[in-house]
Structure 1
């Protein structure tokens, strides 16, 4: 079976599963298995989505996406820079690794009260928490990528008296690129989650605030419309980054 046929079968299976889930949702809501106060019908959700996009839902979506992307870019830049500085030196890795393992498990949402006390209820506070939460997958993936460089390549670089910066750019970064891109894909998902949570807690304009207000007003169709939009944002951003990863790593394919 060719790779194209396998890919086509995978897509058909994914579409069939999604259609089955939507059908189950339709049956459960229309048959009254779950009250429509909590589970609206798919058609009501689509109507709320269309109406919201004609009103202010598009502005809320743009606010969330821009916050997510900016936090993700900051996290990627800081994570790659720090990860390269740590990963290229075994001594620095030995010193810093315990501290990284201590800070890494801290949920970004747990730092929201601290961030609020420092930045207040401002867009900068949400951006800081998004960048902090999304930085760790990139940082740890970069450290791992640089730490796994073939030792003989380091010996060759020393024999050639290659500067450290040149070694990082020409040897370490290409070796770490698969790990870095994998970390960036995970960080993009985290940045979306933290952006929504930050908007809910800090009352910042965005899909998080729109979903929270819909839930408080028992507008189930509006709530589900926001959730559908978040799913579409996550799916589209992950697909675009996967495509970029495929292009950037095409030199790895035989």
Structure 2
């Protein structure tokens, strides 16, 4: 068997295994809801969840809530990526910046986004801008740390070449530093996308902003279990789709690394 055929067979086996695990999870969910292990007021059947999901996307408010969450997540992720790459490039290429800025960032970095939210509410009020600021803050760190790690891994020979060519700091970052750090940056951006989705949902719950977070919270308070599970399933689908899209983009952008 040739190597490409073996790889395709291995990929098909992995896909079949993933589908089998998902099917087993859904079967266990159905069994738990039908057997009465859990009250149906708290655990709807998969069929009831699917009906609520389809109806919500077709004629209900679920589609509008999804758009609001996606817009908030993507905008916060773009801001976080831009800030993370810019700060990472600055700190990673300047000793003075490392000495002045890095200690402050190390003090702020451990703060969870949920802990910063009350401060953001005091500054921006219960607004969409507040949620966006917290999303950008919370999802910036994976990109920033990945950029720093990638720049730190630049080979010493490449640094010597840049010095021999008398490249300025900006030229070194644009032509050598960031291209060398791109694998780390793209991995950090994938993690940042997941964080931005999580923080968006939490912010919507706390700040009462339109989105899937608010929809899930309202469904829980009104004991609408099927709507609650429909929102959770939709969040999982968004996370899966966004990660798959970024993984595909990463493979395309890093084709030059493959032999």
Band of TM-score, shorter chain:
over 0.9
CA distance in 1 between counterparts of 2:10 and 2:97 reads 45
- Give the SS at the match of 2:41: coil
Match of 1:6 among 3, 10, 13: 10
2:228 alignment partner in structure 1:
223
- Greater mean alpha carbon deviation, residues 90-99 or residues 67-76: 90-99
Cα offsets for 1:148-207 (capped at 9, x unmatched): 111221112111111221111111111100010000000000000000000000000000
Following TM superposition, by how much is the alpha carbon of 1:113 offset from its aligned partner in structure 2, in angstroms?
0.5
Matched, 1:23 2:27: yes
Say how many residue pairs are matched: 254
CA distance in 2 between counterparts of 1:91 and 1:127 reads 31
Segments of structure 1 that go 5 or more residues without pairing to the other structure are none
TM-score by length of 2: 0.95
Following TM superposition, by how much is the alpha carbon of 1:12 offset from its aligned partner in structure 2, in angstroms?
0.8
CA contact (8 A) 1:90 1:147 kept: no
Cα offsets for 1:67-123 (capped at 9, x unmatched): 000000000011101101111234533544333322111110111110000000110
2:250 alignment partner in structure 1:
245
1:102 alignment partner in structure 2:
107
2:186 alignment partner in structure 1:
181
Matched, 1:50 2:54: yes
Segments of structure 2 that go 5 or more residues without pairing to the other structure are none
**Runs of 4+ in structure 1 displaced over 6 angstroms?**
none
- Give the SS at the match of 1:144: helix
- Greater mean alpha carbon deviation, residues 223-232 or residues 160-169: 160-169
Match of 1:153 among 141, 158, 167: 158
- Greater mean alpha carbon deviation, residues 160-169 or residues 137-146: 160-169
- Greater mean alpha carbon deviation, residues 48-57 or residues 89-98: 89-98
2:208 alignment partner in structure 1:
203
Following TM superposition, by how much is the alpha carbon of 1:3 offset from its aligned partner in structure 2, in angstroms?
1.8
Following TM superposition, by how much is the alpha carbon of 1:29 offset from its aligned partner in structure 2, in angstroms?
0.4
Coordinate RMSD, CA, aligned: 1.1
Q: How does 1:114-129 map to 2 (within 5 A)?
A: 114-129=119-134
CA distance in 1 between counterparts of 2:220 and 2:83 reads 36
- Give the SS at the match of 1:36: coil
TM-score by length of 1: 0.97
CA distance in 2 between counterparts of 1:57 and 1:47 reads 12
